[in-house]
Amino acid sequence: MGRVEMQFDSNIVGQHDDPSISPLKTTSVACKINTEVGTVLAVMRRNVRWGSHFLSGDNKLEHPLIHSFKNLRKQIFTWQTQWHNVNPVLYLQPFLDVIQSDETGAPITGVALSSVYKILTLDVFDLDTVNVGNAMHFIVDAVTSCRFEVTDPASEEVVLMKILQVLLACMKSKASVLLTNQHVCIIVDTCFRVVHQAGTKSELLQRIARHTMHEVVKCIFFCLPEISSMDPGAAVDHNMTVQENGKLGNAHNYTHGLSADSISVHYDGEADSVTAPSSAAASSSDKNSSGPGKAKSADSDNAHLMKQPYGLPCMIEVLQFLCSLLDIAEHVGSDLKSNTLAFDEDVPLFALGLINSAIELGGSSFRRHPQLLRLIQDDLFFNLMRFGLSRSPLILSMVCSIVLNLWSHLRTEIRLQIEAFFSSIILRIAESRYGASYQQQEVAMEALVDFCRQKAFMVEMYANFDSEITCGNVFEDLVNLLSKSAFPVNSPLSGLNTVALDGLIAVIQAMAERVEDAPPFIEITPVSLEEYTPFWMTKCDDYNDPRKWIPFTRQRKRIKKKLMIGADHFNRGSKKGFEFLQASHLLPKDLDPQSVACFFRYTAGLDKNLIGDYLGSHDECAVAVLHEFAHTFDFHDMSLDTALRIFLETFRLPGESQKIQRVLEAFAESFYEQSRQIFVNKDAALLLSYSTIMLNTDRHNSQVKKKMTEEDFIRNNRRINGGEDLPREYLSELYHSICSNEIRTTRELGAGFQDTTPSSWIDLILKSKKAPPYIMVDSRPYLDHDMLAIMVGPTIAAISVIFDHADDEAVCQTCVEGFLAVAKVSAMYRLPNVLDDLVISLCKFTTLLTPSYAEEFMVLFSEDAKAMMATTTLFTIANAFGDHIRTGWKNILDCVLRLHEFGLLPSRVATDSGDESALSINTDDGKTSSKSSSSQLPSTGLPRRPSGLMGRFSQFLSFDTEEPNSEPTDEEVAARKRTLETIEQCHINSIFRESKFLQADSLLQLAGAIMAAGRSSREKASAESSEAAIFFLELLITITLNNRDRISLLWSNVYEHIAHIVQSTPVPCNLVEKAVFGLISFCQRLLPYKENLVDELLRSLQLVLKLDARVADAYCEQITQEIGHLVKANATHIRSQMGWRIVLSLLAMTARHPEASEAGFDTLSFVMGDGAHLLPSNFVLCVDAARQFAESRVGQAERSVHALNLMAGSVDSLVQWGHETKGATMVEDATKISQDIGEMWLRLVQGFRKACTDSREEVRNHALLSLQKCLVVVRDVCIPHDLWLQCFDLVIFPVLDELFGITQDYSRKTYHNVEGTLIITMKLLSKIFLLSIDELMDPTTFGKLWLGVLGQMEKFMKVKIRGKRSEKLQEMLPELLKNTLLVMKTGGVLTRGNAAGGEVLWDLTWSHVNNIVPSLLSEIFPDTNSDTGSDQPPKHDGEPEASKDAISLTPTRAVEPVASEG
């Protein structure tokens, strides 16, 4: 029934015994009560007046009070029943009589009160006790009407304390639930009176009284969560009304409320008789502070509820009483002239503390009870708004605590009140408006930070206010306030700055936690307005579904932003403003009065003067807008002056009378339509409104000397209501309201809340009834992206400034946490610009960019905790959120470069994670890495040896010629150690080694920054810049190799960068060395993984071919070694002719290099050795490379011979390919392949040409033998006819000609045993001719070829070697010629009538033969002149058999070791 639940009915008296209660316990309780009786009697007997009382004669009769105690003593031990069956009134009545007696003194009353307190606390009775309810009522009635004689002030205070003690015990007793609403109100009333009276008493009594009051209030509201909203007791009629004076009051109170009875205290003897709690000051306050027990109610139902067990009715009464205390404090405190501040703080603080306790205990349960909720929404919050502007920091702090509790429990019910509180209180005080003290600012800022620590606070501010058109930008204003307050202005860092910083970081950390717990719930999509739709009062379909309200709020926020821009345009000219709004689809193309009226009514920031001028205009459209504007107000149940105040607060009333009249006509029309109870027509409302404006001007204009009186005002408004007078009371109240409270208009732009006036508060309450529901946000980051975009810039700036000015390490650590939180949230929402700004800010604090020497830097850095924290934070962000860094990489690289210059980088910064060789070198050799590769750091006193990523290839180390530095001091050693520990914590190497995990955009930016830094370093002509360029090149190589899986992203830019270095460096240096070998390392590491990039990677090696001669010579050996590693590891991956051309060109280039030729030839041997890596695409290239090694004089002849063997062995691959061709199904394909094989064969035999004339006999002869092999082996391969002809014309005949020329040049003394070479050559000529005669048999070409062969034989038959003809040649050539002729004769090639060239060829043949051996014709063709006509003479006995293979090329003497190739 709207009360606390209980299990006992006080009308039932039980007669049964409880077997669980033993007689021993019954006796114990009786003894306790007997003890209390004895104590009271003992104190009473100290005074003889209580010893006996003479009535008549000698008869002595006892005083009734003493007699009642003695009777109680007689009975308590005679009761045989259980104590819970004994009526408590029986043993409580004697004590209560003493308490209420005005004959007892303070000591006796105090002892009696103590006895009652003991009985209550010993649980002598409980809910099961008979008549316990009446007993509790008797106790409360007796204690609250306590009377006693005051003998001294100390005794009086003791009695008052005991009264409080007993009342609190009643509230805490198990039987307290049986107290009625009326008795609870009496208890509160009594406690408050003692509190009020204690102001003139001791400090102890004051503290006890206040504490008791707090405890009583806690006991009352502790039960609120247990009360159901469906209980009838919760439906007490307690409607709040607006009084005519403009202040909020209550229509009527409950039946009893707080009792007006006072506690009478009489002094014995000559002392003055006074009422203890009713001093002069108290009497004054009682008139104004009618607490819950002073109101009278005519409603019998309400009176009945007040007599029910306490619950909701008394809670409503108590809460209203507590709110009224704030109203009293304001009025009473303002009248005091002495100790005003003390009183101003004392009463409000006490009342606010009680209210805060009630809210803390009631919590969200207030929401279930409309009466309590209305008190909080209206009375309480209005008083909080007034006291929020108090000069007392204590009051402000308590107000903020209450609002925080209200927000936590009831924010869905106090939406606009929260906005008003922050706009009118927190922002105003924290921004030091209206002369707020520093202490007030600090309290306001601390309160704001407490709100910011509530994780949902800021996001709900944004969702409910910043995204609502009719509300202010609370979130944005609070963020601007925090960021602005964090900046120290021309002063050291203050507590206010650090508190503001805490607030900003709390908001950012809340975002970070939401992002970490759950990804963004709804995808962020751009919001656009394509056409105008009425949006002013639009509401979301479902405020509980994020899928509905998130797009809705984002749309509203965009509209609001556009409206603010439109307001700015409007303030500069209404025409321009309307044009902009129409272009932005915020107003229709054809303006209608309703849309313009809504724009004026709900848009913040408009110039109120412009609005007034527009509304007062005589233009037809403006008049229509004016009437629509007036109808946007809700004037129901509102007094005229209040309505007029609300109306005129939205614009400034124009000065022209005609405009004023038009405005007031519109107002009167709207007011009359909504309030017809008083006025008979709208003209009456207009006249009274105009008269009210005139009264306001008259009363509050200093230039008006004679002021209008009340009678004048009433007289001026006679018969205006349809010929009748308005009620005099109505006009009188209106007059006094205007006199006491001026109707003000402001010139300020209408943004935010101004002073909280009664009229503005009424308007707020009315708006709150129509406001959209409060949006509750859970732990998901629904709107964090939009919020972050607003606050991140000011936040970074504020944190940076605090970090810069802070000396305290704790503050710096807080800033670091803020930096990390900003980075985390920015990364999650992909805001690279934010991270870039953050990186730039942190780089400034690292001190790495400050010019200094290494030793000096390390000493200063190790002593600067802020710099170390900034450095660690910078690289932590780079490691964790590098995906979203863009331009910030440049600043990070600047810091990394400085660490490199100081020798502080950790190991292997510029090495890729897969460089096993570099790792093994660093590990096995134990060498310290250079500044570039940064393995182990050298000591500061020793020069560093540059090595780097590919430093193992460098042969040009620079040595320091200066004297070594002195040994470092202990301070420097310690500083270096601390610095190294800090740098190690930064994990700088991970930034580059783990770059493979960076997003593509970030990776490109990092690579671009490295290349830009490298270019910038190269442009500076200094040793340091050269080292920097090398370092950046190594970093570039590192990230490129680490990102081999997406090398296509980087390759073009990286190659261009390296090409520029190579092409612009004409002399050997470390930089070009790094570039060249870095390029080779790309190929080595990437070829196995990127088949689609093999050609592009190998094409990059053309840069090596284009090296300046000096550079190429300096690094040729190392280049060749690395190319060898490349080929041996990746030969199977090189398929294209272009790729092999570049590789083999690099190898061929080393043929004549003394140091590089060995490595180059070794690689070539690997490719050509067994033919496994010979391909049609690289055959010619390999042959050409081998030819160059064969012709080279570098190294021993053995290498040339080996090269010739490689060339000769390659013919086997041609034969194999030829055999494979025979299986081709397509004739065209087979022909094409055969032609390609033939061309490769031709190039092969051409490669022997120069070697066949080499001055070295061994090489020369081996070349001829190798040539023979290549010519012989291909017999099974179908070599086209034209290629055989080219073989003779381009190879065999030129070789013979050159050898002939050598024999004629006597100056060539280097040629030894030319005769043997000539023999081999002539045998080769004859054999090859005979073996290929079938392929050469073409009528058009054979004759010429044959005559050429004969010509060569004829020429060498006559050759002279050193002036003598060769006997061996003279012997051999006829035999060779004869064998050739016989073969041709046998094959039918050479016959008189059928010769390939006809008779002419026959004649020419024998013409040459006769010059060589004249007798051969008769020997071969003995029957040539006979008439038999036979072309083929019979074979004679003893004539040798001709054979194509009969000729051996093995020289008779010169080339003995070489085996015959026949």
Residue 61 pairs with which residues in a beta bridge? 53
Give the torsion through C-alpha atoms of 1170, 1173, 1176, 1181, to 10 deg.
-90
Helices (H) and strands (E) in the chain, counts: 62, 9
Q: Which two tokens stand for residue 169?
A: 């015990």
**Listed residue (272, 249, 464, 474) closest to 378, CA to CA:** 249
95 and 166 Cβ atoms separated by less than 8 Å: no
First to last CA, the chain: 129
Cβ atoms of residues 274 and 265 within 8 Å:
yes
Strand pairing partners for 60? 54
Q: Which amino acid is at 1046?
A: R
In the structure encoding, which two tokens stand for residue 396, read together? Answer: 């402000």
Strands 240-242, 148-150: pairing kind: unpaired
Token pair belonging to 774: 């409060």
How far apart CA 1281 and CA 1287 sit, in angstroms, is 10
Structure tokens, 1300 = 């002939």
The rounded distance, in Å, linking the Cα atoms of 133 and 174 is: 11
| Eight-class DSSP state of 265 | E
**Strand pairing partners for 56?**
59
CB 482 within 8 A of CB 448: yes
CA separation for the pair 455, 341 (Å, rounded)? 37
Q: Which residues, in sequence order, are bridge partners of residue 724?
A: 721
Residues 1038 and 900: beta-carbon distance below 8 Å: no
CB–CB of 234/312 below 8 Å? yes
**Burial (Cβ within 10 Å: 0-12, 13-18, ≥19) of residue 554:** buried
How far, in Å, CA of 687 to CA of 709, rounded?
Answer: 18
Residue 988 Rama label (left phi>0; alpha psi -120 to 50; beta): alpha
At which residue do the structure tokens 């003279």 appear?
Answer: 1370
Beta-bridge partner residues of 311 = 3
The answer to whether the beta carbons of residues 847 and 794 sit under 8 Å apart is: no
CA 1325, CA 1279: separation in Å to the nearest integer? Answer: 18
- Please give the Cα distance from 1323 to 1331 (Å, whole number): 12
Query: Residue 637 has what DSSP assignment?
Result: T
SS3 of 1117-1142: the string is: HHHHHHHHHHHHHHHHHCCCHHHHHH
Q: How are beta strands 248-250 and 240-242 bridged, if at all?
A: antiparallel
- Radius of gyration in angstroms for the set of CA atoms belonging to the chain, rounded to a whole number: 57
Query: Tell me, what amino acid is at 705?
Result: K
What amino acid occupies position 1237? I
833 φ, ψ (degrees, to nearest 5):
-60, -35
Q: What is the side-by-side strand order in the sheet with 274-275?
A: 148-150, 264-267, 274-275
| Pairing relationship of beta strands 264-267 and 274-275 according to DSSP bridges | antiparallel
1228 given a catalytic annotation? no
Kindly name the residue from 656, 724, 1220, 1441 that is annotated as catalytic. Answer: 656
Which residue type, as a one-letter code, is found at position 913?
Answer: S
Are 627 and 593 spatial neighbours (Cβ–Cβ below 8 Å)? yes
Q: What is the largest CA-CA distance in the chain?
A: 212
Cα(1292)–Cα(944) distance, rounded to whole angstroms? 62
Q: Known catalytic residues?
A: 656
